[in-house]
Copies of this chain bind each other. A is one copy, B any other.
Amino acid sequence: MARAGLTTETLVRAGAELADEIGFEQATPTELARRLGVRTASLYSHVRNAHDLKTGIALLALEELADRASEAVAGRAGKDALTAFADAYRDYALQHPGRFAAARYRLDPEAAASSAGARHAQLSRAVLRGYDLPEPQQTHAVRLLGSVFSGFVGLEGAGGFRHSAPDAQESWTAILDALDSLLRTWPARS
């Protein structure tokens, strides 16, 4: 019997493809093994268990997302940077729904530490450089941006905007305009 040449890397990448096709939750070891033409038990030489596999996919997705965001922000500032950053995020979610769902998978502290989480935080702050906010407003703004992007994309993916006009793209543009305007005039403190 020919060896399939599995590695942890292979499994995680194939798992990510699978997640994009059938959904992150449905990307089980059993289904993955089926796709790879291999018995389920064979996966367990390369990943500890199902959770481990999912964690691997999540880490891959976070890395890819950070790569794209980083590419988007490079050489841009102000609203340009904000828009490019936001679009990188949303486009990734639309092109890779399974991976994006994975990126929201709850990581245990150990996995979280080895994740691209820190890069994401840095990138958000880089976007805000053009707006010149003092601490702690900058942290609040980072959290606002994270909330809006994650919330919008989550709702869009769940079909929340599908059955009402205008379409999601239009709202997305308007919301980015609004955020830009907000960041330029962030209220000092009430």
Q: List A residues at the B interface (Cβ < 8 Å).
A: 104, 106, 136-137, 139-141, 143-144, 146-152, 154-155, 158-161, 164-166, 170-171, 174-175, 177-178, 181-182, 185-187, 189-190
- Residues of B close to A137: CB separation below 8 A: 174
CB <8 Å contact, A158 and B106:
yes
CB <8 Å contact, B181 and A185:
yes
- Residues of B close to A148: CB separation below 8 A: 144, 147-148, 151
Cross-chain pairs A/B with CB under 8 angstroms, 9 sampled:
A106-B159, A136-B166, A143-B152, A143-B155, A143-B175, A149-B151, A150-B154, A177-B189, A178-B182
Query: Chain B: which residue is nearest A145 at the CB level?
Result: B151
- Residues of B close to A104: CB separation below 8 A: 154, 158
CB <8 Å contact, B181 and A160:
no
With A182-B182, A185-B185 as given contacts, are A139 and B151 in contact (CB-CB < 8 Å)? Answer: no
The CA of A141 and the CA of B152, in the complex, are separated in Å by: 12
CB <8 Å contact, B151 and A146:
yes
The CA of A143 and the CA of B186, in the complex, are separated in Å by: 20
